[in-house]
Amino acid sequence: AQTVTQSQPEMSVQEAETVTLSCTYDTSESDYYLFWYKQPPSRQMILVIRQEAYKQQNATENRFSVNFQKAAKSFSLKISDSQLGDAAMYFCAYRSGGGSEKLVFGKGTKLTVNP
């Protein structure tokens, strides 16, 4: 069974600075996808960024980028120029390729952005 581990229960960053959230996963599969989701206090889960395992290039979405290290099974999220609106719970998630049905989530990291 696949597992996702987020070792940082809480992180804080100053506004405009950069922060990196860590995630490791365990799988024996070769075809899979990795995701970072954001869950603000309003509760609605929003996709931040997605990485296909077969792609060597790290995904980037505006101020959000990932460092995908397939051999190390590591998938960290970097947030540049942090904004107050980035404050939320961040979940790392894994999903098998093909006709997979489920997302496997980590326990989350609570990010605080200080003005």
Residue 17: count of CB within 10 angstroms of its CB:
12
Q: Look at residues 18, 22, 111, 2 and name the one whose alpha carbon lies nearest to residue 74.
A: 22
- Give min distance, CB of 16 to another protein, in A: 29
Alpha-carbon distance of 41 to 48, in angstroms, equals: 16
Q: Does residue 68 bind another protein (CB under 8 A)?
A: no
Q: Look at residues 36, 22, 32, 26 and name the one whose alpha carbon lies nearest to residue 1.
A: 26
Stretch that binds another protein, among 18-26, 69-77, 79-87, 105-113 (CB under 8 A): 105-113
Q: Does residue 99 bind another protein (CB under 8 A)?
A: yes
Residue count, binding to another protein (CB under 8 A): 29
Residues that bind another protein (CB under 8 A): 4, 31-33, 37, 42-47, 50, 52, 91, 93, 95-108
